[in-house]
A and B are shown apart, each in its own frame.
Chain A
Amino acid sequence: MIADFAWIRPEPHGIHVVPADCWIDPSQPVAHALVTHGHADHARGGHGRTVATPATLAIMELRYQTREGAVPAHYGETIQLAGGVDATFLPAGHVLGSAQILLEYAGERIIVTGDYKRRPDPTCPPFEVTPCDVLITEATFGLPLFCHPPIEDEIGKLTERLALHPERCVLVGAYALGKAQRVIAELRRAGHHDVIYLHGAMERMCRLYEDFGIPLGELRLVGESKKDALRGKIVVSPPSALNDRWSRRLPDPITAMASGWMRVRQRARQKNVELPLVISDHADWGELTRTIEEVNPSETWITHGREEALLRWCQLHQRRARALALIGYEDEDD
């Protein structure tokens, strides 16, 4: 077993920073939490004190209706925790507000990446490569078959299909925090300036993004629109609404889904998706392995996802690595 770095302990319910007695992304309420980003499985409510970036705190407030115990940490700002531990939040490029957390204690540096990606995203600053002794990395798409194509190609598939069927609409299932706003921002970047229609559950998060300075263009709610107005339009909804009764109000929708899992045909079929869009907010295999090489830690710890394959890659490349068995993260939601 690894004897070093005993001040940080992976437990089933989160990563425990022992000298400071605080937890990173705990899946249960704790007295003192550090939260990497606003996705519900990482940012749970009910903690005594929550340290996170201002955007992540705003997202949590939107969800849990409270700012109690919120401690903002700006990117690059170092926060002194109890027991002589320093924490620095660094951009992770995953969604608005997402951060890696650099922990320093007794001359040792450990980075928890949280969820991250390396590809450009108009809705959040890019991942910063930072040297450290231990890199605790996610592995959601930790299989060599995952190679996310350029987002321009996928956005192109979406607009092409829309143009082919002016009498229908394209319904895009996208995770309500991050994916939806990224898809909309990329559509705008590609020159699609038409109104984009939203499922009601998307509205507040899109407003929040705009409050944080990310323009999303003209958005309207499906619930406030007539069926005919939706012909030839793009509609964005949470994935759970794709096959729900809700979608019956749409004019003959073409069901699309923006997710890294769409790379595998049967995954798309299982979700009744007609137009799979391989768009992910996680690092693909190439990004995961390149990041380990660039950060070049002396040890790599691998969490939530397909740990075995990344562990194997580390062995093949003579890198010290171990897999952590954390529970409670829902890797299907990309």
Chain B
Amino acid sequence: MEKFAALVDGLVYTRSRNGKLELIADYLRTTHDPDRGWALAALTDCLSFSAVKASTIRNLMFERVDPVLWSLSRDFVGDTAETASLLWPDPLGDVMAPPTVGQAVDLLDRMTRANVMSELPRLLDRLDADGRYALLKLATGAMRVGVSARLAKTAFALAFTVNVEEVEEYWHALTPPYEALFAWAAAGAPPPDTEAMPLFRPFMLAHPLDDAVLNLTDYVAEWKWDGIRVQLAHAGGETRLYSRSGDDVTGTFPEMTGALTIPAVLDGELLVRGSHQRGEQGGAASFNALQQRLGRKTVSKAMLRDFPAFVRLYDVLILEGEDVRALPWRERRQRLEALMPRLPAERFDISAVVEAEHFEQLAEIRAGTRDESIEGLMLKRRDSPYIAGRRTGLWYKWKRDPLLIDCVLMYAQRGSGKRSSFYSDFTFGCWDGDPDLGAELLPVGKAYFGFTDEELKQLDRYVRNHTAARFGPVRETDKSLVFEVAFDSIHASKRHKSGVAMRFPRISRIRWDKPAHEADRMETVRTLIRD
């Protein structure tokens, strides 16, 4: 565990990508199974232990530290695991030697809700502060050491001089501690057989278009739909639905499991059919409707009836045993179009190509679209292969222009991670009437990005100097600062006092110059609702 803790701290303090790669590669080369596999799983957030949650740690600490001192400390540090690792009291008497990563995983795995409050302390007692930090991070499954899954796989490839694409491919066929993966890479054993498994294949992603102008003879335009990007995989008689991060979301959309019976891997947008179908292509409801289906443990019959899911297909990766990812987009598109009649129309359609003579015409089409389930346009090179990740020059996303309103900063809270200790989570509101006649502000949204690091410091200072009241970690400001807030759409919501919920709000500009009473009013905000 000490070696793993040193790796975690090394990653925390190393900024450069190459530095991180070397640290991980060195660890993987010089550490034994299963420790290195568990470490790899921890770094890529692939571990979870049902008995150990952030609330477990908090409860453990409440038995040892005054709750007020705990919350002041937690607020300062901005991270529960780190705060606990620092505040954990030194054990009395002799303690056992620190566990290996494998032993720690094993012990964590055997903990239950009934015994975690007595078992976890024993494990923590065996470690120093850095070890406790690494253990708690591993146990709660959020390392936050600036290592993406992709970076960890690249480090793995570097450690054993193997191809990173192959690592990606086999990765999803295996479970921690990946002994077969190490056996293949480090000891030359045959690779795992991935053919017969409905595996996740890494998505191809797009860069923002920004101000570029593209030639439509090289690029094709498609709508970008406002749903959930998914991958459907059918192999060995089994169908799986994966989210963009590779999470298995099959259980959330059971109607999709029986829909694909052809061995294939397909890329598309999961949408629900709604009651208000104003779409140009038709059939899809807004993201707000889709949200009814998310985050539910059980899917009721009413849900399936009122918000039925379907997938609007973008691409095909594998079809009946043939990996078509290396083919140019136009050839994959032909295969996909040919496949459509074989798929149930109730569950699948194809994302139509947007025809335009030239780029200016495309810009007009984009500006003129009324369909609320459209997030913007995708521009794909007609000859682009399907490549994992975000490759420059192949795919671009061109979102619709955001909506803007001027809001007043109401509350601020400290951020976590690299923003720990800075007031960086902002709640803002609009006037419920004429502020000069005594109207109040109603909170309409929350945002924690959109500003530069320099602006973050200015905002932090502003909040500290304009605090009107404090509620635990939350500061109420004197309501004097105006933000121009950008957002993708706004919906009616019964859960919010203001009656509206914003989608993807961010601070677009800080209006240091604008008096608060000139910020927008709720009546203006309500005109932007499209449901």
Q: Tell me the A residues contacting B by CB distance below 8 Å.
A: 143-145, 147, 263-270, 272-276, 306, 308-309, 312-313, 316
Contact of A269 among B76, B83, B418 (CB under 8 A): B418
Contact of B72 among A276, A312, A316 (CB under 8 A): A312
Contact of A145 among B13, B15, B66, B86 (CB under 8 A): B86
Q: How far is the CA of A268 from the CA of B9 in the complex (A)?
A: 11
Pair A264/B87 contact, Cβ less than 8 Å? no
Q: How far is the CA of A144 from the CA of B79 in the complex (A)?
A: 15
Closest 3 CB pairs of A and B: A145-B86, A266-B420, A309-B72
Q: A143-B76, A306-B72, A309-B73 are contacts. A264–B82 as well, Cβ < 8 Å?
A: yes
Query: Quick check: is B12 within 8 A (CB to CB) of the other chain?
Result: yes
Q: How far is the CA of A306 from the CA of B77 in the complex (A)?
A: 13
Mask: chain B, 154-198; 1 = CB below 8 Å from A; 0 = not: 000000000000000000000000000000000000000000000
Pair B72/A269 contact, Cβ less than 8 Å? no
Q: How far is the CA of A273 from the CA of B9 in the complex (A)?
A: 12
Query: Quick check: is B69 within 8 A (CB to CB) of the other chain?
Result: yes
Q: Return B423 CB to nearest CB of chain A, in Å.
A: 14
Contact of B87 among A145, A265, A269, A272 (CB under 8 A): A145
Q: Return A82 CB to nearest CB of chain B, in Å.
A: 35
Q: How far is the CA of A40 from the CA of B13 in the complex (A)?
A: 30
Pair B421/A144 contact, Cβ less than 8 Å? no
Q: How far is the CA of A270 from the CA of B416 in the complex (A)?
A: 12
29 contacts between A and B (CB under 8 A): A143-B73, A143-B76, A144-B87, A145-B76, A145-B86, A147-B86, A264-B77, A264-B86, A264-B420, A265-B9, A265-B82, A266-B78, A266-B417, A266-B418, A266-B421, A269-B12, A269-B13, A270-B420, A270-B421, A272-B15, A273-B13, A274-B14, A274-B15, A275-B13, A306-B72, A306-B76, A309-B69, A312-B68, A312-B69
Please give, as numbers and ranges, the residues of chain A lying within 8 Å of B116 by CB-CB distance: none
Q: How many A-B residue pairs have CB under 8 A?
A: 66
Mask: chain B, 1-16; 1 = CB below 8 Å from A; 0 = not: 0000000010011110
Query: Quick check: is B65 within 8 A (CB to CB) of the other chain?
Result: yes
Contact of B65 among A144, A147, A263 (CB under 8 A): A144
Please give, as numbers and ranges, the residues of chain A lying within 8 Å of B79 by CB-CB distance: 265-266
Please give, as numbers and ranges, the residues of chain A lying within 8 Å of B133 by CB-CB distance: 265
- B residues 226-282 near A (Cβ < 8 Å) are none
Please give, as numbers and ranges, the residues of chain B lying within 8 Å of A274 by CB-CB distance: 13-15
Pair A276/B69 contact, Cβ less than 8 Å? no
Q: How far is the CA of A316 from the CA of B67 in the complex (A)?
A: 12
Please give, as numbers and ranges, the residues of chain B lying within 8 Å of A309 by CB-CB distance: 68-69, 72-73
Which residue on A lies nearest to B133, using beta carbons?
A: A265
Which residue on A lies nearest to B15, using beta carbons?
A: A272
Interface of chain B: mostly helix, strand, loop or mixed: helix
Please give, as numbers and ranges, the residues of chain B lying within 8 Å of A276 by CB-CB distance: 13
Pair A144/B82 contact, Cβ less than 8 Å? no
Please give the number of chain B residues whose Cβ is less than 8 angstroms from any Cβ of chain A in the complex: 24
Contact of A265 among B12, B65, B72, B73 (CB under 8 A): B12
Q: How far is the CA of A147 from the CA of B86 in the complex (A)?
A: 8
Mask: chain B, 390-418; 1 = CB below 8 Å from A; 0 = not: 00000000000000000000000000011
Pair B78/A144 contact, Cβ less than 8 Å? no
Please give, as numbers and ranges, the residues of chain B lying within 8 Å of A266 by CB-CB distance: 77-79, 82, 417-418, 420-421
Q: Return B220 CB to nearest CB of chain A, in Å.
A: 43
Which residue on B lies nearest to A327, using beta carbons?
A: B465
Please give, as numbers and ranges, the residues of chain A lying within 8 Å of B78 by CB-CB distance: 266
Pair A145/B73 contact, Cβ less than 8 Å? yes
Q: How far is the CA of A34 from the CA of B231 in the complex (A)?
A: 71
Which residue on B lies nearest to A142, using beta carbons?
A: B72
Please give, as numbers and ranges, the residues of chain A lying within 8 Å of B15 by CB-CB distance: 272, 274
Contact of B69 among A147, A273, A313 (CB under 8 A): A313
Which residue on A lies nearest to B130, using beta carbons?
A: A265
Q: How far is the CA of A306 from the CA of B76 in the complex (A)?
A: 10
Please give, as numbers and ranges, the residues of chain B lying within 8 Å of A264 by CB-CB distance: 76-77, 82, 86, 420-421
Q: Return B474 CB to nearest CB of chain A, in Å.
A: 15
Q: Return B346 CB to nearest CB of chain A, in Å.
A: 50
Which residue on B lies nearest to A145, using beta carbons?
A: B86
Please give, as numbers and ranges, the residues of chain A lying within 8 Å of B421 by CB-CB distance: 264, 266-267, 270
Contact of A316 among B66, B76, B82, B418 (CB under 8 A): B66
Please give, as numbers and ranges, the residues of chain B lying within 8 Å of A263 by CB-CB distance: 86
Which residue on A lies nearest to B70, using beta carbons?
A: A144
Q: How far is the CA of A274 from the CA of B72 in the complex (A)?
A: 27
Please give, as numbers and ranges, the residues of chain A lying within 8 Å of B76 by CB-CB distance: 143, 145, 264, 306
Q: How far is the CA of A312 from the CA of B69 in the complex (A)?
A: 7
Pair A270/B418 contact, Cβ less than 8 Å? yes
Which residue on B lies nearest to A275, using beta carbons?
A: B13
Mask: chain B, 76-118; 1 = CB below 8 Å from A; 0 = not: 1111001100110000000000000000000000000000000
Please give, as numbers and ranges, the residues of chain A lying within 8 Å of B14 by CB-CB distance: 274
Q: A268-B13, A270-B418 are contacts. A145–B68 as well, Cβ < 8 Å?
A: no
User: Could you say which of A265, A269, A274 has the most chain B C-beta atoms within 10 Å of its C-beta?
Assistant: A265
Which residue on A lies nearest to B78, using beta carbons?
A: A266
Which residue on A lies nearest to B416, using beta carbons?
A: A266
Contact of B73 among A144, A270, A275 (CB under 8 A): A144
Contact of A144 among B9, B13, B69 (CB under 8 A): B69
Q: How far is the CA of A309 from the CA of B15 in the complex (A)?
A: 33
Please give, as numbers and ranges, the residues of chain B lying within 8 Å of A269 by CB-CB distance: 12-13, 418
Q: How far is the CA of A144 from the CA of B65 in the complex (A)?
A: 9
Please give, as numbers and ranges, the residues of chain B lying within 8 Å of A147 by CB-CB distance: 86
User: Could you say which of B15, B66, B69 has the most chain A C-beta atoms within 10 Å of its C-beta?
Assistant: B69
Given contacts A264-B82, A266-B417, list 7 more A-B pairs with CB under 8 A. Answer: A265-B79, A265-B133, A266-B418, A268-B13, A270-B418, A308-B72, A312-B66
Please give, as numbers and ranges, the residues of chain B lying within 8 Å of A265 by CB-CB distance: 9, 12-13, 79, 82, 133
Q: How far is the CA of A276 from the CA of B13 in the complex (A)?
A: 8
Which residue on B lies nearest to A270, using beta carbons?
A: B418
Q: How far is the CA of A217 from the CA of B133 in the complex (A)?
A: 39
User: Could you say which of B15, B72, B133 has the most chain A C-beta atoms within 10 Å of its C-beta?
Assistant: B72
